[in-house]
Structure 1
């Protein structure tokens, strides 16, 4: 009988270009886990909240196409299946650069050091800002990224408070991203410029290249 770490419940896997963060524009193979215990108002992958199909880690690794050097584990919330995710990262990290994107509310303690962590800190516009994201800050590396998704001015001010109060720019790399279709990128850009905020503003590149509602990109 397979042990817990032998399988992962997945929503989908696909090859595309990385749409966000410091790896934006690079060829990337995405492994999207199924299941999420957050209900962010602006979530664009709500189809991954439930369901999914179990896959063996062997099959997942074998399914990575040739010519790929970058793999992202995303969700859903990958850390709902933390032990299996850790095992998968261990198998992948000898051959691939591995990104893991997490909602930030579950502990990242114990993830393999080779993991490039992209950790969301949820803001009021998500309806999930009440979680204790600060508990994860001690486990971040300088090479990791914190992402703030901004829906409005209140979200921006909340992100600015997080950055200033916790001196996040001294901890790791910082990203701010406008909620697609809800806030003008030019507004967010102007606020960042006015405050000299030490962040990288980003747009969701995949939504500019393809239809914003298209899956598998």
Structure 2
């Protein structure tokens, strides 16, 4: 692969469905490929296929929407080494850029201007062993950590990690998200309130608006 190319599944303009910028218009750059196979994955269509895009073409596509926010996602975007220079290029262009990563790939070389949204895999994902906890020391104050929770076991595990790594003081937001159609959102809300957790509960806005359709 050329040093100036990446394999992409799609670029699209939509509302951010999660994280601190939920509801804000955002350009999404979805990279193809992922070394993980989480049981609740909602983007399996990005595991393979895709097309090669030059950096120049990617930047031109993003620019046409005149966005403030750009999210680089996947798949697992950091599985492609050229993701790192693309992130820098986007930040250089003045966009507010976030990176959605599984936490299984090293983040230490991600440009310091990027907001890293790192997903620590819970037991029900089936990929618990892929968590690279050495990444935690590279998290910045503006970064976010996400736990996708499908059961009470997941919740209790996430609470333990929240405390073990003092995540609420380390990053701007710790996100607890129920697995869609698996854990009732109200149940997760009641657990969070009962334990007085310093976390942000989130529902995936895009699922309610577009039901996981590609391009949204």
* 1:23-72 Cα deviation digits (max 9, x unpaired): 00111000000000000000000011112111001100001123311110
* Matched length: 213
In 2, the alpha carbon distance for the partners of 1:81 and 1:108 equals 13
- Structure-2 residue corresponding to 1:63: 61
- Structure-2 residue corresponding to 1:142: 141
1:42 corresponds to 2:40: yes
1:203 corresponds to 2:211: no
- Structure-2 residue corresponding to 1:125: 124
Residues 67, 127 of structure 1: CA spacing in aligned structure 2 closer, same or farther, 3 A cutoff? same
- Tell me by how many angstroms 1:200 deviates: 0.1
Give TM-score, length-normalised by structure 1.
0.95
Q: Map of 1:44-193 to 2, 5 A cutoff?
A: 44-64=42-62, 65-82=64-81, 84-94=82-92, 95-172=94-171, 173-193=173-193
- Structure-1 residue corresponding to 2:14: 16
In 2, the alpha carbon distance for the partners of 1:176 and 1:201 equals 5
In 2, the alpha carbon distance for the partners of 1:132 and 1:42 equals 16
* 1:156-190 Cα deviation digits (max 9, x unpaired): 00100100111111111200000000010000000
Q: Secondary structure at the match of 2:130?
A: coil
Aligned CA-pair RMSD:
1.0
- Runs of 4+ in structure 1 off by over 4 angstroms are none
Contact 2:72 2:98 in 1 (8 A): yes
Give TM-score, length-normalised by structure 2.
0.96
Q: Secondary structure at the match of 2:33?
A: coil
In 1, the alpha carbon distance for the partners of 2:130 and 2:83 equals 22
Structure 1 stretch displaced more, 129-138 or 17-26: 129-138
In the alignment, structure 1 segments of 5+ residues that lack a partner are: none
1:7 to 1, 5, 8: 5
- Tell me by how many angstroms 1:213 deviates: 3.2
Q: Secondary structure at the match of 1:21?
A: coil
- Tell me by how many angstroms 1:110 deviates: 0.8
